[in-house]
Amino acid sequence: MSSTTLPGTAEIQARLLRGPYHEWLGLQVLSVDEGAIELSAQWREEWVVNPDGGYIHGGILAALVDLTADWALVSRTGKGVPTIDLRVDYHRPAKGSLRASGKVIKFGKQFSVAEAQVFDADGQLVASGRGVYATPAPRD
């Protein structure tokens, strides 16, 4: 890897919130390390898919899996990486604010793999997944 300084928690937080969707999700960077990140997402009533049960829509959980895995790679590359493929597993209905943890599984010259887990306020695993991301070397 090059000697480029990688972004820290404050820089990742600022860059993450440049995206209106990320801001709407109420994302907060809890911790960041090279190849790993932990985020929280503040519950919003608009996330609810089932008003009778108050459960969060699976699309919100899938978005958190994707962006957490993606930003785990950003913590290593220092730049955004496009998603090529994504798999999400749903483990139980989710309610309330969420915490997501992501880490790089394999870092490659063209493609990389990262995974994420999403937990509810009680610490229960509600969703997990793995993504493949394009990580080509920058062009001159």
Residue range 125-134, pLDDT digits in tens = 999 999 999 9
Domain ranges, ordered by start, for the chain: 9-134
Residue range 7-64, pLDDT digits in tens = 678 888 888 889 899 999 999 999 999 899 999 999 999 999 988 988 999 999 999 9
In the CATH scheme, what is the code of domain 9-134?
A: 3.10.129.10
Percent of the chain with pLDDT over 90: 72
pTM score over 0.95: no
**Cα 94 to Cα 84: distance, rounded to the nearest angstrom:** 26
Asked if 119 contacts 98 with a C-beta cutoff of 8 angstroms, the reply is: yes
